[in-house]
Structure 1
């Protein structure tokens, strides 16, 4: 079982706005806040978001470089993934692989893929049928 993941972000307020509406949709609750970060918890796992120090902001993050490529969450159902997709579109968040959505992960994998403000790929996948 995963204990926690810590993600450095380039703009803490932008990250708080993005993750602050998304994570409750996925069953997370705000866990901690402090001047340079915040965390959200679901059961025994939590996600930590910390403001990157200025000296480490460049070069910017890119998921194709060595390191974290994306983070994937469980969606409750295909309907839940569809509702989330519409909310993302309503917020102007670009859906990745739109031409293959919702099967961009394969014909048996129903999911939505998008990016956070730092271009970290986020996936929400429905349970298998």
Structure 2
């Protein structure tokens, strides 16, 4: 590839294998606010395409036998950006009311002294997720002094 062709390269959507599509739809739709754009159940193959404002963001594929395994190669975590730390904290409050498992207690900075930070938690299959804001975490702790917070959890 040349620099010309890679200059327009950006993430389109992320596909996640799940064990129970209805449970994952409730989490990503009801809890995180994604809309179901397409849902398929043909020939025992269940999937859903999720997005916002008609734009595809996630594809959920019910084809996993086991939950997420951090020690396997593949997706490390999926991060969603919001505009403000108030939005991060609002999502955190809702997730806590649903007994979602968190990797850290409260908002954490991406690294020591960073302005950006957020919350780190797990979906129903254990996939690691993050919701962060680019600023507002200046006073938040950083769980790891030398490595990015989003790297080891």
Give the TM-score category using the shorter length: 0.7 to 0.9
Query: Greater RCO between the two (CA within 8 Å, min separation 6)?
Result: 1
Is 1:102 equivalent to 2:107 in the alignment? yes
Larger radius of gyration: 2
Q: TM-score, length-normalised on structure 2?
A: 0.70
| RMSD of aligned residue pairs (Cα, Å) | 1.9
Q: TM-score, length-normalised on structure 1?
A: 0.81
Give 2:93's match in structure 1, choosing from 77, 86, 94: 86
The corresponding residue for 1:65 is: 72
CA distance in 2, matches of 1:85, 1:20: 16
The answer as to whether partners of 1:12 and 1:50 remain within 8 angstroms in 2 is yes
Runs of 4+ more than 3 Å apart = 42-45
> How many correspondences in the alignment?
120
Cα-to-partner distance string for 1:4-41 (whole Å, 9 max, x where unaligned): 211110111211111112332xxx43211111011112
What is the SS of the residue equivalent to 1:83?
Answer: helix
Gaps of 5+ in 1: none
Alpha-carbon offset, residue 45 of structure 1: 4.2
The corresponding residue for 1:38 is: 48
Gaps of 5+ in 2: 1-9, 137-153
What is the SS of the residue equivalent to 1:128?
Answer: coil
The answer as to whether partners of 1:70 and 1:121 remain within 8 angstroms in 2 is yes
Is 1:29 equivalent to 2:35 in the alignment? yes
CA distance in 2, matches of 1:14, 1:65: 23
Which stretch of the first structure deviates more once superposed, 38-47 or 86-95? 38-47
Which stretch of the first structure deviates more once superposed, 77-86 or 10-19? 10-19
